[in-house]
Chain A
């Protein structure tokens, strides 16, 4: 079975849960040998250099020159000449220096230069691209790779809706690839890039993760006739509720219509999908996320203070404000309580101000970004872990905390509560209820001990092999080849 997987950065830094899930699934899929052997060609936007080490091979490099979009030909101006991907020939057989050149690797990576990130909204996109340009402009130019001869400043724009899109960008010293002007345009450009770069690749199934990769999935499906599996780690209804971007919803609906199978990460998420989209029930499968160990539980040292941890993007859906308001209630009653918000995000300035306003700034620490190598230590320093999200299709971080023996609080209805029972539940958005749970865990050592020991036992069985096994069955179903 050969799978073309349209995924996200392997690093949790950029992609949150969806990146972790993609990595866990792809690696578990490709671990099996023999009749179960599954090969994964993993396509993702932009290489950052922090993907899983070893055992992967990088195919494409940026910048790309892409075949013009069919629509571009209808527009005025000279049609762009279709150019082959820079990695000439079947790219799979041309290893990059510095990567493992073993042609029979089951898992290969193909990166495509793009500023796409999971959870971007249309308005964040412009900011993200602007930031990226600024960063690139400020960074010393790398000499390791030769500067692209065909500087893409005038390269044909894949979407080419307007003449503006093809106009040279205004940062002349930086090799700026022709990113889409809007998020939607970039999603579309990405889809064409994927199509162009995978033309020589054989595959049996296409597996697309979250809406931004789904247009690529649909395009590949149309061109290759291979079945599409559309995997929703979250849907727009969950991310932004009623305020969700209409375009994102439309793409999600189109993918649901086109896909042979629709996957989601929990029963709760399945209910949301069914309530918000037209969805043929027979297509839907629940594939609960799992855990990739982040470390081993360390012995707890006695401490004078007790720490309650938030770890995740500082974004509205994750409810960091609910966390802070609950923290303020606990702080009032428990002088020993301290609070840590680990993660970065657009809400940081507001949250910092909120902590001041609540009078708990001195007891709150914002750590900023936490890298994969710091994860275990961050969890390990906490007495309580809180997932304060308003809605949480799954919540992999809760599994990580439990795997390190940290008692965990999650919102009622979170997908993770479908697979573990050793968590405390609170009413989403209810800061008083959350405060009650936080304080309870600080003052009831027997409860903390129970959640810690029972939680460890529960997550021990929740590895990615299980969903990967289910997934092989799903692939076989749609590809109609024996698993």
Chain B
């Protein structure tokens, strides 16, 4: 049997304001986040993607008597936005959870780069963000998550070990050629140094057929129909345990709009896949439970699913990105101290600023994946996003500095 494993990343960041140098240290404080824009976007995406696509999935589960199964990782930043601005979309995710056919995958609540923050403080923050998300998922969906996926599938040996220590049974990763070499992404692996954790990798060829090529009119296979795609899946070797189709949920209706036929494609796919009895759908945790690893995988270099480099260069390549990242983590101890001293709002702000999208917007890969970065950014240029971000960090730093004095005065 071969399981088709759909896992959807569902995420929206809190985009920041066009924060000027002169805004730093102002009283009353200037808001950091552009909630007008954030609301606008989440409402739009809920309408185009989350609501209609959740309906497609609910129907697929019902039509197949629960044989269609899939997994979601909804970031904490998005969950909060849905609560505030698109509660109907949040309800529809909760309804999917009740079908029992959907797994909710854990990650850092803030879709952050804490796993590569580099300091002991960052490692602790990583664990804290994971626990926050774990508790929230349990609370919202009634299930303790068993699978973990790190921000944008960022993975190396160290991260995998930490995930195992945090008690997860399964982790998702990118099926990078350089890592797999001759091996197939369709087997279960174990990251080197782990004893229990199982690693499920993305089949990037099959995933990107849906996520990127589906709407590309230059693609020889255009237009791709569900029966044809199911036929490709059916060519899997008998020993292929699963096919990992991991992608942004916004692929359906937002990155590729309704008119491309992407929603209809997904509506028809389950039936065609199940037409061959050797094929099923499963969630990552189910695959991990039913299969032992075939080998250990050594991941010394940090990998991700981003850009053609499949490494950290989407976030931490140029001087601006490195400076912004370093400055953020420099403030972390103070943000923790502030929270301990009764100012949790400053740590909350720090955490929203830890979302990886902020440094992603600063990428200057004009020639390779520039288009993708440009598609997502709300700013005019990577330089602007750096400036606004650094100004916000300066403001936060100032408020973190002022705290002790304020407290002393309060005590008197």
A interface list, Cβ under 8 A from B: 333, 421-422, 424-425, 436, 439-440, 443-447, 449-451, 453-454
Contact status B386-A447, CB under 8 Å: yes
Q: Quick one: given A443-B21, A444-B387, are A450 and B366 in contact (CB under 8 Å)?
A: no
Say whether A454 contacts B364, CB under 8 Å.
yes
Say yes or no: A451-B21 contact (C-beta < 8 A), given A421-B366, A446-B319, A446-B323.
Answer: no
Q: Find chain B residues with CB under 8 A from A445 CB.
A: 323
Contact of A454 with B318 at beta-carbon distance under 8 Å, contacts A444-B386, A446-B386, A447-B387 already known: yes
Q: A425, A436, A440, A453: which contacts B319 (Cβ < 8 A)?
A: A453
Contacts of A447 in B (CB 8 A): 319-320, 383, 386-387
Chain B nearest CB, measured from A329 CB (Å): 9
Report the contact-size class of chain B (Cβ under 8 Å from the partner): 10 to 19
Chain A residues near B322 (CB-CB < 8 A): 446
Q: Kindly list the 5 A-B residue pairs having the minimum CB-CB distance in the complex, ordered from nearest.
A: A446-B323, A450-B319, A449-B319, A446-B319, A450-B320
The answer to whether A450 and B20 touch (CB under 8 A), given A421-B381, A424-B383, A444-B390, is no
Distance A436 CA – B383 CA, assembled complex (angstroms):
13
List the A residue with the shortest CB-CB distance to B391.
Answer: A440
Number of A-B residue pairs, CB cutoff 8 Å, is 43
| Interface hub of B364, B366, B383 (most chain A Cβ within 10 A) | B383
Known contacts A440-B21, A450-B318, A454-B364; is A425 also within 8 Å of B381 by CB?
Answer: yes
Residues of chain A with a CB closer than 8 A to B318's CB: 450, 454
Q: Whole-angstrom distance between the alpha carbons of A425 and B382 in the complex? A: 11
- Once bound together, how far apart are the Cα atoms of A449 and B324, in whole Å? 13
| Contact A436/B21 with A447-B383, A450-B364, A451-B383 known, Cβ cut-off 8 Å | yes
**Set of chain A residues within 8 Å of B380, measured between Cβ atoms:** 425
State whether B381 touches A446 (Cβ < 8 A): no
27 A/B residue pairs, CB under 8 Å, sorted by A: A421-B364, A421-B366, A421-B381, A424-B383, A425-B380, A436-B20, A436-B21, A436-B22, A440-B21, A440-B387, A443-B21, A444-B323, A444-B386, A445-B323, A446-B320, A446-B323, A446-B324, A447-B319, A447-B320, A447-B383, A447-B387, A450-B318, A450-B319, A450-B320, A450-B383, A451-B383, A454-B318
Q: In the complex, what distance in Å separates the CA atom of A89 from the CA atom of B378?
A: 67
CA–CA, A422 and B364, complex, Å: 9
**B386 — which chain A residues lie within 8 A by C-beta?**
444, 446-447, 450
Q: Which residues of the other chain, A, contact B387 by a CB distance below 8 angstroms?
A: 440, 444, 447
Considering the chains assembled together, what is the distance between the CA atoms of A453 and B390 in angstroms? 20
B296-333 interface (Cβ within 8 A of A):
318-320, 322-324
Interface residues of B (CB under 8 A from A): 20-22, 318-320, 322-324, 364, 366, 380-381, 383, 386-387, 390
Chain A residues closer than 8 Å to B323, beta-carbon distance: 444-446
Residues of B within 8 A of A451 (CB): 383
Question: Complex: how many Å from CA A443 to CA B327?
Answer: 14
Q: How many angstroms from the CA of A446 to the CA of B317 in the assembled complex?
A: 12
- Please report the C-alpha to C-alpha distance between residue A450 and residue B21 in the assembled complex, in whole angstroms: 19
List A contacts of B320 (CB < 8 A).
446-447, 450
Chain B proximity of A433: nearest CB distance (Å): 10
Considering the complex, give the chain A residue whose CB is closest to the CB of B324.
Answer: A446
Which residue of chain B has the shortest Cβ distance to A433 in the bound complex?
B20
User: Which residue of the partner chain B has the closest CB to A443?
Assistant: B21
List of A residues within 8 angstroms of B21 by Cβ: 333, 436, 439-440, 443
Complex: A454 Cα to B382 Cα, angstroms:
12
A424 closest partner in B (C-beta): B383
Find the B residue at minimum CB distance from A450: B319
Least distance between B364 CB and chain A CB atoms (Å): 6
CA distance A447 to B323 in the complex (A): 9
| Chain A: minimal CB distance from B80 (Å) | 30
Q: How far is the CA of A436 from the CA of B21 in the complex (A)?
A: 7
Q: A440-B21, A444-B390, A445-B323 are in contact. List 16 more A-B contacts (CB 8 A).
A: A421-B364, A421-B366, A422-B364, A424-B381, A436-B21, A439-B21, A440-B387, A443-B21, A446-B319, A446-B322, A446-B323, A447-B320, A447-B383, A447-B386, A447-B387, A450-B386
CB-CB under 8 A from A422, the residues of chain B are: 364
**Smallest CB separation, A346 vs chain B (Å):** 34
| A422 to B383 Cα, complex, angstroms | 8
Q: How far is the CB of B23 from chain A (nearest CB, A)?
A: 10
CB distance from A422 to the nearest CB of B (A): 7
A444: B residues at CB distance < 8 A: 323, 386-387, 390
Q: Which residue of A lies closest to B380 (CB)?
A: A425
In the assembled complex, the Cα of A424 lies from the Cα of B364 at a distance in Å of: 13
A384 to chain B, nearest CB (A): 13
A83 to chain B, nearest CB (A): 59
Residues of B near A454 (CB, < 8 A) are 318, 364
Chain B residue nearest to A440 in the complex (CB): B387
Q: Hey, which chain A residues are within 8 Å of B366, CB to CB?
A: 421
B318, B366, B386, B387, most chain A CB atoms within 10 A: B387
Q: Which residues of A contact B383 (CB under 8 A)?
A: 424, 447, 450-451
Report how far A34 CA is from B260 CA in the complex, Å.
52
How far apart are the CA atoms of A169 and B158 in the complex, in Å?
A: 89
Tell me the complex Cα distance, A425–B22, Å.
18
Q: Give A268 Cβ to nearest chain B Cβ, in Å.
A: 16
Residue in A333, A446, A453 whose Cβ sees the most chain B Cβ within 10 Å: A446
Nearest CB of chain B from residue A401's CB, rounded to whole Å: 16
Q: Which residue of B lies closest to A417 (CB)?
A: B381
A436–B24 Cα gap in the complex (Å)?
13
- How many angstroms between the C-alpha atoms of A445 and B323 in the bound complex? 9
Q: How far is the CA of A57 from the CA of B132 in the complex (A)?
A: 79
CA distance A453 to B364 in the complex (A): 12
Please report the C-alpha to C-alpha distance between residue A422 and residue B320 in the assembled complex, in whole angstroms.
12
Cα A421 to Cα B366 with chains together (Å): 8
Determine how close the nearest CB of chain A comes to the CB of B319; give it in whole angstroms: 4
Q: In the complex, A454 Cα to B317 Cα: how many Å? A: 12
A450 to B385, CA, bound (A): 13
Which residue in chain B gives the minimum CB-CB distance to A451?
Answer: B383
A452, closest chain B residue (CB) = B319
- Complex CA gap A451/B22 in Å reads 23
B137 CB to nearest chain A CB (Å)? 36
* CB closest chain-B residue, reference A420: B366
- How far, in whole Å, are A444 and B384 apart by their CA atoms in the complex? 12
Closest-by-CB residue of B relative to A454 is B364
